[in-house]
A and B are shown apart, each in its own frame.
Chain A
Amino acid sequence: MRKRVVFLFCVSVFLSCIIGFIGCVRKPEKVTGITVWYWMTDRQDAFIELAEIYEKEKGIKINFELYAPSDAYTQKVMAAAQTNTLPDVYGILGEKRVFASFIKAGHVADLTEEMDAENGKWGGVFFSKALDVNRFLPDNQFGVKPGIYGVPIDVTNIQVLYNKALFRRAGLDPDRPPSTWKEFIEAGEMLRAAGIPVLVSGWGEIWLIDCFASNYAFNIMGEEKVIATIRGDVPYTDPDWIRVFTIFKQLSEKGLLAQGVVTMVNKIAEQIFANERAAFSFNGSWCVNVYKGMNPALEYGAMLPPKISEEHPMAIWGGAGSSFMVNAKSENRRDAMEFLKWLTDTKQQVFLAKSTQNLPSNKYSLTEIPPILAQFVDDMDRTTHPSILPVAEFPGVTEALDKGIQSIITGEKTPEQVAKEVQNVKEKEMKSQRLAR
């Protein structure tokens, strides 16, 4: 009896502690204005300045909150989604599959009506490819209601950069960079003969390998066949895919890749190129700002990846660099949309482009960008991205493909072996999907 009383007493004290604790927790003060979560450290100063201007102009405070690096940001956004504590405006990093889950869970506002209002006044200012990244088409595989769910803040595309001074040193014409694969190999051999490492890229970050490989997949087999592969109608063991994998074998066997490229992060690759220790770099338009910081005197140009086939155009990864989404559950939804309209207006976009050296998403804001960025802009029409394709590959297959390519570069596996392994993963994933249905 005594034990029971003691037990009951303990339980009641414990419960009252918990209740008291919960009661004592200070309710979060209602934040006035709009809260924006972002991860782009290079834009911190510019965003803060813009927030001050907006408050002066419209009387609404913008709380820009930086969470970096992007991995930590992703985790924070995921956790906030699980607890329904997302801010008014935020970005979703990751694949379209993840984006779709956020929409289906009711965390993202549909912006189609706003974009299309007044004959597409807002939507019409963006590069169409940038908007496509945030667009869900009718009958999309994720079951998301068709529409536009994000606002591109800037655009990007990934190309090959070449060092003009090193070109001259190797006896190459810096005004005529290689445009075909054959020319590229020849140029690479000349550079090598001059003791200059040829191509550097952060292929330790597997998405960059994926990007390079899919550029050539589009060039060799065309968009339709790439999509057919993702749908499961064409196997990865198809000769065209073997050709794609063979590119990496060729680069490796001819010694055209910088040492350690398969485990190199892009930041290191950027340092190597900026310090003139490699003649080519495969990198995105954000590199302009990075190289400017690392070596302002670097003399370089941008070119499309040299094409292998004349049958299909060379496509490059690109589209929206960073996008913001409006929280569908936010009380400040309307204000958030108005702020994003203002942020993507020409004046603000010119300011962002000038201060951060990123490509603006507003196509009417290209007046004050440096010539090298203009080269990137010229090729915006060639951009593609996994997010704008009507189907998405299984993440496991993408990983197997990228890791397989690393194995080809190290000489551990042949293109045929990798193709077979990737196809096996694909079949396993498709089987699991069928069973799940």
Chain B
Amino acid sequence: MVAKARVKTFFGNYLFVLPALGMFLTFSVYPFFKVFQLSVYQWDGVMPTMKFVAFSHFKDILFRNPIWWKSVWHGVYITLLALTFQNCLAFTLALLVDRGIKGRKIYRVIFYLPPILSGIVVGLIWNWIYNGDYGLLNYALKSLGLASIQRAWLAEPKTALTSVAIAHMWQGFGWGFIILLAGLQNIPRELYEAARVDGANTWQALRRITIPLMVPVFVLVSILTILGCMQIYALIVATTGGGPGYHTEVPVTRVISSMLGQSQFGYACAMGIVFGLLLLTVSMIQIRISRRIKQE
């Protein structure tokens, strides 16, 4: 009787999981394998027939497509800026709010506003800030007597990518802030009190308690930053469209351009796989490094 009830519970549980499993298989697993299948075919996305080309798309992407690698570098550049400046700013602000400064609830809301805006809206805001003729930045520079460095920030090869990266950091730092703040608030307060009793100053408490205990949170924030930055798309479309020239092209704009602009679905899928593998490798390396740091 007990065995029968156990079997019933067992199947009952599986039955509840089935719809979710079905959805997962249909909308996640199947497309995942389909992308692999398409990547070895030449297909324009419309014709019912495809031509098998084996790994020639991968060969072309890896060895004969400098623009692709340039776009990857642009993604890496935006990511590096975000990992350093954006996350440092997020951590500093999280520390301040965690210390219980006045009006911390308002700050929490304000800092979290940019991430909930869509990339297109952020792009439009920063387009106005960076505009060469009537932009806020140029106006501020002129007011400060720095008119000589005024320019169309998004249209010049030397400044376009960094300008986009700054806009992206502005949009993204709120995520890091919220996660880091949650991490800080999880650290038991007794540890700080004990350290203070032992004569530790603020800097020592930060170095010996806060930072070591925050390592898992740093890893999480870093991985999210890498994934978020490398997949930047809407902001690029709303600000530069990948230009001037190829100066703000990023991997996703290249994938979209191959797929819709040039009707090369197979090639675009191969790009997607190469890009996915790159991100996977970086994330795995990062997890391994953070584990080592934690052990030390």
Q: Which A positions have Cβ atoms within 8 angstroms of B?
A: 6, 9-10, 13-14, 17-18, 21, 71, 74-75, 78, 81-82, 94-95, 97-98, 101-102, 104-105, 107, 197, 204-206, 258-265, 268, 277, 395-396, 399, 403-404, 406-407, 409-410, 412-413, 428, 436
Contact = CB atoms under 8 A, between A and B. Distances in A.
Contacts of B79: none
B154 A396 contact: no
Interface stretch (B7-15, B168-176, B275-283): B7-15
B212 interface: no
B46 A263 contact: no
Contact of A262 (B10, B15, B19, B244): B244
Interface string B1-41: 00000000011001100110110000000000000000000
Contact of A18 (B22, B132, B152, B160): B22
Interface stretch (B90-98, B103-111, B191-199, B256-264): B256-264
Interface residues of B, number: 38
26 contacts: A10-B14, A71-B260, A74-B260, A81-B45, A82-B45, A94-B263, A101-B46, A105-B48, A107-B46, A205-B241, A260-B131, A260-B132, A263-B152, A263-B154, A263-B240, A264-B155, A265-B241, A268-B127, A277-B133, A403-B243, A407-B157, A407-B244, A410-B245, A413-B245, A436-B42, A436-B51
A97 B263 contact: yes
B11 A263 contact: no
B246 interface: yes
Nearest to B19: A17
Nearest to A75: B260
A420 B278 CA distance: 32
B99 interface: no
Contact of A259 (B46, B64, B132, B241): B132
Contacts of A14: 18, 21-22
Nearest to B257: A399
A343 to B, nearest CB: 25
Q: Which of A6, A75, A261, A403 has the most CB of B within 10 A?
A: A403
Interface in B145-199: 152, 154-157, 160
B155 A261 contact: yes
Nearest to B153: A260
Contacts of A107: 46
Interface string B115-147: 000000000000100011100000000000000
A13 B15 contact: yes
A412 B159 CA distance: 13
B160 A263 contact: yes
Contacts of A436: 42, 51
A138 B48 CA distance: 23
B122 to A, nearest CB: 16
B86 interface: no
9 closest Cβ contacts across the A-B interface? A259-B132, A260-B152, A260-B155, A101-B46, A395-B262, A407-B245, A262-B244, A259-B152, A263-B240
Contacts of B19: 17
Given A265-B241, A277-B133, A403-B246, A260 B263 contact: no
B240 A17 contact: no
B156 A410 contact: yes
Contacts of A258: 133
A21 B26 CA distance: 13
B243 A406 contact: yes
B101 interface: no
Contacts of A78: 45-46, 260
B47 to A, nearest CB: 5
Contacts of B15: 13
A384 B14 CA distance: 63
A265 B131 CA distance: 13
A17 B22 contact: yes
Contacts of A21: 22
Contact of B64 (A71, A75, A410, A428): A428
A272 to B, nearest CB: 8
Contact of A98 (B46, B64, B127, B133): B46
Given A406-B244, A428-B64, 10 more contacts: A13-B18, A71-B260, A82-B45, A105-B46, A205-B241, A263-B160, A263-B240, A263-B241, A399-B257, A412-B157
B22 A403 contact: no
A410 B244 contact: yes
Contacts of B257: 399
A406 B46 contact: no
B154 to A, nearest CB: 5
Contacts of B240: 204, 263
Nearest to B7: A6
A16 B260 CA distance: 38
Contact of B263 (A17, A82, A101, A409): A101
B46 A81 contact: yes
Contacts of A410: 155-157, 244-245
B222 interface: no
Nearest to B156: A410
B239 interface: yes
A301 B64 CA distance: 48
A204 B241 contact: yes
A18 B46 CA distance: 28
B46 A395 contact: no
B10 A409 contact: no
Contacts of B127: 268
B46 A102 contact: yes
Given A259-B132, A399-B257, A13 B22 contact: no
B214 to A, nearest CB: 39
A418 B184 CA distance: 53
A259 B10 CA distance: 68
Interface in B64-101: 64
Contact of A404 (B21, B157, B241, B245): B245
A78 B64 CA distance: 28
